[in-house]
Amino acid sequence: MTAGARQTYLNYINGQWIPSSTNQTEPSINPANIHDIVGYVQQSGIEDLNAAVEAAGRAQPAWRKLSGPKRGEYLFRAADVLEQRLDEIAETVTREMGKTLPEAKGEVQRGVNILRYYAGEGMRSIGEVIPSTDSEALMFTTRVPLGVVGVITPWNFPVAIPIWKIAPAIVYGNTVVFKPAQETAVTAAKIMECFDEAGLPAGVVNLVMGKGSVIGNVMAEHPHIHAITFTGSNEVGKMIAQKAVARGAKYQLEMGGKNPVIVLEDADLDRAVEATISGGLRSTGQKCTATSRVFVQSAIYEPFKRRLLARIKELNIGNGLADGVWMGPCASQKQLETVLSYIEKGIEEGATLLCGGRRLDDGEFGNGFYVEPTVFENVSPDMTIAREEIFGPVLALIKVETFEEALALANDTPFGLSASIFTKNIGKMLAFIQDIEAGLVRINEESAGVELQAPFGGMKQSSSHSREQGRAALEFFTAIKTVFVKG
């Protein structure tokens, strides 16, 4: 596929680039400039999904028979291709969903690193010898692939999330049908180009673009998709789980968060302010691990607030491709409207708006989906902005008297993805680690971010309680087979 500003990007099925059966496309729009069309992407139908599932099913027996090291070689080659195209694909990420170019480059590099990590997994142990009560027998376990895996991914990390699902799926012997978010389908096509150039056998990884209400819905019900890994909203995740359970398919869900940071009176204030801003506002707050609720002990509440507001005023907002821009636009018109509706809800319910709160629409801002970084105070725990995931650059400041009060309020949420605390008190660090209801716990660091070799996932309604990344991926993408051998 050749490069082009308004290129039409095709589905990738059975090793071939093909248009959808509907012959319909839609433009992928740059959220920083709606006049910039990144490319045209397919609006696929059920027929296209069926073709991809069929191709994946045909490819799986031969693929699973390859050795783990041999499968890993393909991932090493894909990593090399992705690294060679890092700048180009990072620019596509920025144009397609709005994050700044440095963030996009970091994400693509993370994709390279994930591919290399899982390429190495092809060489690692997948079982253990277990003592048998029969002294003349050998008993051991091994792990086997599930079959065809459906991968459904969101738009906020259009390189890292697909790769951290696809890479372990295929290195452990599965084949994949990949449905990306339609908002970032051009980026998805470029990822597939890297796999194609790496020489993966036809059908091992297949790309089907299209609306979630069409493609994602049918994937959840498809009898020949043996497992589904999904990152996205709770509403869609629960629907997938119900349909997967009904037909006995394995599923993995990573969903929402309402992530707290606790700032205690002995915290390094400058460090806590920077981490709160980075965790809550970087990527325009469009991270599942983004800081949303900020619990600050009363003794340092006012100085923390002053420093926070002063620092936010210094942030440079604009097109993520421009030098020096710290925060880009919301990823879409829909997302902008969602964020603005939550801001309005906060005002209606009586929270005090300290800064921001409006759409930026003057000059060049008028061509994009920009919203000001927004901070509320006097936020009670029952307010909508303290309960629901906003997925935008909105922070809720909540004053607390004690660590115990902060911890109780931090846990007062249906979500449990990530959480952080700032303190020098070792005892309170340990108590936080023990008692916070979150899958990712960060001490004296922002709530957002996890290293690729570490398990990632949430508690309560933030996940299906399985974990992604690191060696934990082996648990989801394989099944244990116990073997008893006697001569």
Could you tell me the CA-to-CA distances from 431 to 122, 212, 293, 319 in Å, in that order?
Answer: 38, 41, 19, 42
| Total Cβ atoms within 10 A of residue 183 | 23
Active-site pick, 254, 372, 389, 468? 254
Two tokens at 280? Answer: 């809550």
Give the HSE-up count for residue 162: Cα atoms under 13 Å, Cβ half-sphere: 28
Of 74, 73, 106, 71, give the one whose Cα is nearest residue 87: 106
Two tokens at 101? Answer: 């170019």
Residue 209 to residue 486: CA distance in whole angstroms: 50
Cα Rg, the chain, nearest whole Å: 23
Helix orientation angle between 403-411 and 426-435, rounded to the nearest 10 degrees: 20
Q: How far is CA 13 from the centre of its chain?
A: 24
Could you tell me the CA-to-CA distances from 362 to 92, 100, 369 in Å, in that order?
Answer: 25, 20, 11
Do residues 169 and 252 lie in contact, with contact meaning Cβ atoms separated by under 8 Å?
A: no
Active-site pick, 288, 330, 389, 468? 288
Two tokens at 315? Answer: 């942030």
Residue 136 annotated as catalytic: no
Residue 383 to residue 79: CA distance in whole angstroms: 45
Of 478, 325, 331, 297, give the one whose Cα is nearest residue 402: 297
Residue 437 annotated as catalytic: no
Two tokens at 8? Answer: 């039409």
Of 287, 292, 309, 396, give the one whose Cα is nearest residue 352: 396
DSSP secondary structure code for residue 233 in this structure: -
Two tokens at 29? Answer: 């729009």
Could you tell me the CA-to-CA distances from 92 to 60, 62, 89 in Å, in that order?
Answer: 31, 34, 5
Q: Which residues are catalytic, by number?
A: 254, 288
